[in-house]
Structure 1
Amino acid sequence: MNPNLENMTAIDEELSKRHIDLDPGGYFIIYIDRDSNLICAKHFTNVINDRGLAVDPATGKPIPARGKVERTAETLFTGRTAKELCVKIFEEPPQCPVTMLDHAAYLGREFVRAEIALINGDEYVQD
C-alpha cells in the first residue's frame, strides 16, 4: 500500500491530540531566519508545577500554550540544517537542555519541517 498524503496528515493530526508530559528541562520556540538562512530554536527554562503545568521560574505563573509571552530565552541555537541544529543542542552543550526522549523526537521532527520550509521558501509554523 502506497502512502497517501491525506491518510498521513490524518494520522499526524490525531497523534497531535494526545497528552504529553512537559519537559522539566524547558521548551523551545522554533522559527526560520530567512535573511541568514538559519533554523533558530530559542530555549526557555521552566518549572513543572504539581498540576503538570509549565510555570515561569521567576514568577511562578503558568506559561500559556498560545499567545504572546514576554520572557527572555536562556539560549538561542541556530543551524543551517536540522542535523546541524540537533548537534548543537544535543551534543555540544556541557548539559543537554532536553531531558525527555519524546521531546527530543518532537524537536527533530520540527527541525526537519523547518529545514524543508527553508529550502522550499514555505512558511513554517511550529506544531
Structure 2
Amino acid sequence: MVTTVRDYALFLKAVAAAEGYSAAMAADRDRVQTDKGDQAIVDCASPSATACPDHQGYGLGFNVLRFGDATVLEHGGADWSEVSLAYIGTPSQDGIIIFLNAPNARALAAMPELIAQIDPGSPFLGEYQRWLSNARQP
C-alpha cells in the first residue's frame, strides 16, 4: 500500500467514526473475532504492561484491544524496507501513526523508542520491544 500519513489519518478517523457503514458493522468491527492466543499484543503478565485489556485479538482488518467501554484499533506492518504502526481509540479518536522507511532491522530498532516518546502509555510498546528482542537473538 502506498499512502501518506495525512491520508491514513483521515482513513483511521473515518473508521473510528464509522463513516460510511452502519452502527452494527461498527460494533462488529470493535469485536474480537479471533483470539490471538500466545501471540497476544499485550503481555498482561509482563511488568512493563501499562494496562491489561479486557479482551484482545484479531478484528475486522485490525487488532482490537477492549478496555471497558473504550476500544483501540491497530494495524501495523513490516517488510524488508519499512515498519509501520497505526492505532486509534474509540470513542476518543486519539491515536498515532508511525511510518518508517528504512531497512527492517533499523526501523524495528527505532520503533520502541519512538512509541515511548510519542505515547509512553501505548499498549503496543511492549509488543515492539518483544519483537525487537526476538529479532536480536541468534
TM above 0.5, yes or no, is no
Scaled by the length of structure 2, the TM-score of the pair is 0.33
Structure with greater strand percent: 2
Higher relative contact order (CA 8 A, sep 6+): 1
TM-score (norm 1): 0.35
Q: Which has the higher helix share?
A: 2
Larger radius of gyration: 1
